[in-house]
Amino acid sequence: MSAPVEFGAPGGEDWAAAHPRTSWFDIRPLADGVFLIAEPGHVNNFLVVGDDRAVLLDTGLGVADIRTVAERLAGKPLSVVNSHYHFDHSGGNRLFDEIAIHRAGAEMLAQPAPEGLAEGYMAYTQRLIEEWQGYKQLDDAYFHLVTAETLIRPLPEGFDPAGYRIVPTTATTLLDDGDQIDLGGRVLEVMHTPGHSPDSICLFDERNGLLFGGDTINTGPIYAQLEDSDVEAFARSTRRLAGLGDSVDRVFVCHFMRVDNPPGLLTEIADGFERLVDGSAPFRDNADCLGYPVREACFDRFSIFVAGVNGGTRV
C-alpha cells in the first residue's frame, strides 16, 4: 500500500503535514508540475504549474477552499480552466477572478442550476458516506484495496449540507478548439470534445504526454445520458482522442478513484462508443448518482450511461 507522499510546496510549507489524508482534499503530485487535488468519491481537480503561471483545471464541488490549497501549491499567478460547466467542476469558481471555459459553456455557467440539484447531490453525498462504512469494513476484512488516497472523507467541519448552493459564475476567457494555454515552459492545448456536454474540453500537454480527459474519459460510468449529451458527438470525440496515439503517455480523469491511466484506455472508450452507436453494446438497467434510471453499457474498465426509457436526468 502506498505511503503518504511527502512533498514541500513552494514557500517551504509541508503540505503532507498541513493537509493530512483525512482532510477533504486528497492532494498528490502526479508528475513534474502536476498535482491532483481530489475530492475522493466526488471529483478530481488538477493543478498544472508552468515556469510563469499555473492553471487549476476545475474547481470541484465548492464545499472547501480549493483556492487557498491551489495557490499555496502553485506559488505563482493562478487562473481557472473549467473542463465544462457542470457544478461538480465549477463549484469553487466563485473563489476565483479568472475563469476560462469553452465558449459553448459560458452561458450555462452563468445560469442558475436546475432546481433541486444541490439538494439531490447532498443527498447522494450522505448516502455515499453511509454506504462507505460497510464498504470499508468489507475491504478491511477481505479485499485490502482501499488506501489513504481513496478514503471517502466526511464533509468538512463547519460545512452545512443544507446550505449548499450552486453559484452561477461568469467566464472571463472563452476557449476554442486548438487554443494554446502557455504557462511558461509548458503548453496546454485545448481540445473541444463535445458529447458529455456541448462545451466539454480536454487539455493536452503534448510535450509531457499528459492528457486531462475531463468528463469525456472516465474510469467508471461515463455520463452520456444527460439532457445535453450527444452520443454520436461523444463517439467522434473519443475516436479523435484515441487518434492521439503514441503522443499520450498518461490519461488523467475527473471522476472515480482510478485517476491515472495508460493511453490504451482512450482506444477502449472509443471502441465502446462505436459499439454503442452500432447497437452491439451489452446493456443493463441502472441508476445514476441522483437516482435517475439509465441504461448502462458495460465494458472492462468503464461503462457508458445512456438515457433510460423515461428519458435522461436534468443534471
Which residues make up the interface to Zn ion (CB under 5 A)?
86, 88, 215
Q: Which residue has the cell 443544507?
A: 162
Question: Whole-number minimum distance, CB 134 to Zn ion, in Å?
Answer: 25
Question: Whole-number minimum distance, CB 71 to Zn ion, in Å?
Answer: 23
Nearer CB in complex with Zn ion: 51/227: 227
Question: Whole-number minimum distance, CB 265 to Zn ion, in Å?
Answer: 17
Residue 50 amino acid letter: G
Q: Which residue has the cell 459553456?
A: 105
Residue 139 amino acid letter: D
Nearer CB in complex with Zn ion: 44/150: 44
Question: Whole-number minimum distance, CB 53 to Zn ion, in Å?
Answer: 25
Q: How far apart are the first and last CA of the chain?
A: 36
Question: Whole-number minimum distance, CB 42 to Zn ion, in Å?
Answer: 9
Q: Report how far residue 115's alpha carbon sits from residue 112's, in angstroms, rounded to the nearest whole number.
A: 8
DSSP-assigned beta bridge partners for residue 100? 81, 173
Q: Report how far residue 50's alpha carbon sits from residue 183's, in angstroms, rounded to the nearest whole number.
A: 5
Nearer CB in complex with Zn ion: 205/215: 215
> Phi and psi dihedrals of 73, rounded to 5?
-65, -40
Nearer CB in complex with Zn ion: 86/192: 86
Are 315 and 166 contacting, i.e. CB atoms less than 8 angstroms apart?
no
Nearer CB in complex with Zn ion: 43/78: 43
Helical axes 264-278 vs 231-242, angle rounded to 10°: 150
| CB neighbourhood size of 97 (10 A) | 9
Nearer CB in complex with Zn ion: 39/215: 215
Question: Whole-number minimum distance, CB 195 to Zn ion, in Å?
Answer: 11
Nearer CB in complex with Zn ion: 45/150: 45
Are 267 and 242 contacting, i.e. CB atoms less than 8 angstroms apart?
yes
Question: Whole-number minimum distance, CB 141 to Zn ion, in Å?
Answer: 32
Question: Whole-number minimum distance, CB 124 to Zn ion, in Å?
Answer: 13
Q: Which segments of 147-262 are extended strands (E)?
A: 173-175, 180-182, 187-192, 201-205, 210-212, 221-223, 250-252, 260-261
Nearer CB in complex with Zn ion: 168/209: 168
Return the residue nearest Zn ion (CB atom). Answer: 86
Q: Strands 221-223 and 260-261, how do they pair? A: unpaired
Q: Could you write out the DSSP letters of every residue in 156-182? A: PTT--GGG--------SEEE-TT-EEE
Q: Report how far residue 305's alpha carbon sits from residue 286's, in angstroms, rounded to the nearest whole number.
A: 8
